[in-house]
Structure formats: C-alpha cells, structure tokens
Amino acid sequence: MTEKSKILQAVRAQAILFVLIFHLRPNFLPNGYLGVDMFFVLSGYLITKILSISALDKQSVDVRLFYEKRIKRIIPLYM
C-alpha cells in the first residue's frame, strides 16, 4: 500500500468514526455528520483521479466503460 493510499484510508477511518460517534453520542461530537461530507470529498477526489488518468492515457474518457465498472462493483452488494 502506498503512502498516499494509507493517508486516504486514514481519512476514511476518521470519517467513519465521526459518523459512528455522532450516531452513538450526538452531544459528544455535534458536527459528526461532517464525516459524510468527508466521504463525498474522498469519492470526488478518487473519481476525478481515475477519470484524469484515463484521459491522459487514452486522450479521451470512455464514460460508458466508467459506469459499467461502477455498476459491476456496486450491484453485487445488493444481491
């Protein structure tokens, strides 16, 4: 695991803790809901990174392929 990947995992863990603590003890961490915002920021960063690498490699982005990969990754969770 790269150093950058470790940092992203640490931010993800922090976001999880924020949301968890907010649900268990809202008075202890009143802004814990911001953990959800952290997840959105991380997702946006990672999606942008994936698309920009794809665009640099191929000089274009295959949007259909991008969504196919996302669907194949998400659908099994709901089956």
Q: Where are the domains of the chain?
A: 3-78
The pLDDT of 12-31, averaged and rounded, is 92
Q: Supply the pLDDT for residue 10.
A: 92
Integer angstrom CA distances of residue 41 from 8, 11, 65, 68, 78 = 11, 10, 23, 22, 24
Question: For residues 43 and 61, what is the distance between their CA atoms, to the nearest angstrom?
Answer: 18
**What mean pLDDT comes out for the span 39-57?**
88
pLDDT of residue 37: 94
Amino acid at 68: E
Report whether 38 contacts 18 (CB < 8 A).
yes
Residue 16, pLDDT > 80, answer yes
